[in-house]
Structure 1
Amino acid sequence: MNKRFFFVFLLVAVVIAGFLSFYASSSPDGLTKVAQDKKFASQEKDHQFKDSPVGDYGVKGVDNERLSGGLAGVIGVGLTLAVGGGLFWAVRRRSSAG
């Protein structure tokens, strides 16, 4: 049952990140909207990961906007799963050893 739940959860996450994310609102997110409304958006600075392979919600080198965003979402799900799973594994291993 646990493996089945995990795979269904993973499939749903990949579908949402890879396909449905293209249909998300193009309006600014909450922080950007507040910065625009309060007139301090001009002080915005680029973050250190702006030029990373998946910076700015897309994959560099992929010209198709839909595919680029979908791949970035799937990569994000994979990285989140890897980091979260690794932390869970480490904590679980540590607690069972002690």
Structure 2
Amino acid sequence: MKKQNKFIIAGFALSLLLAGVVSNYASSSPDGLEKVAEDIGFLDKAKEHMNSDGLLADYGVKGVKNERLSTGAAGVIGVLATAGVSSGLFLILRRKNGASK
């Protein structure tokens, strides 16, 4: 196995670990915009967005009751989706440019 492939696999594994486990230790404090909206007093005027009841809304997976598991699963799904889309784009661009394996 090439050194580059080992590096990519290790990075992917680390990403899955961070998304699945370490994400549960992220701050539960409001983000910057929410904090400013709260401080200035217009937070109560905020409306729910179209996807607020979606499968991966609010950093969790809809239907998973365990909050830690829900957050970790959402992170892993995000990493897998990002890896899938980016890999697909790289393959398309590689073929378009005529690069070989």
Aligned length: 97
Question: Pick from 16, 25, 28: which aligns with 1:26?
Answer: 28
SS at match of 1:51: coil
- Is there any run of 5+ residues in structure 2 with no aligned partner, and where? none
Which shifted more, 17-26 or 38-47?
A: 38-47
SS at match of 2:64: coil
**TM-score between both structures, scaled by the size of structure 1:** 0.88
2:61 matches 1:59: yes
TM-align CA RMSD = 1.4
SS at match of 1:52: coil
Show structure 1 runs of 4+ deviating over 6 A: none
**1:96 Cα shift?**
1.9
2:10 matches 1:8: yes
Residues 73-92 of structure 1: CA distance to partner in whole angstroms, max 9, x if unpaired?
00011111111222222222
SS at match of 1:96: coil
**TM-score between both structures, scaled by the size of structure 2:** 0.86
1:13-92 equivalent positions in 2, closer than 5 A: 13-92=15-94
Larger Rg belongs to: 2
CA distance in 2: counterparts of 1:38 and 1:87, whole angstroms: 42
* Counterpart residue identity of residue 56, structure 2: V
CA distance in 2: counterparts of 1:67 and 1:4, whole angstroms: 28
Which shifted more, 31-40 or 74-83?
A: 31-40
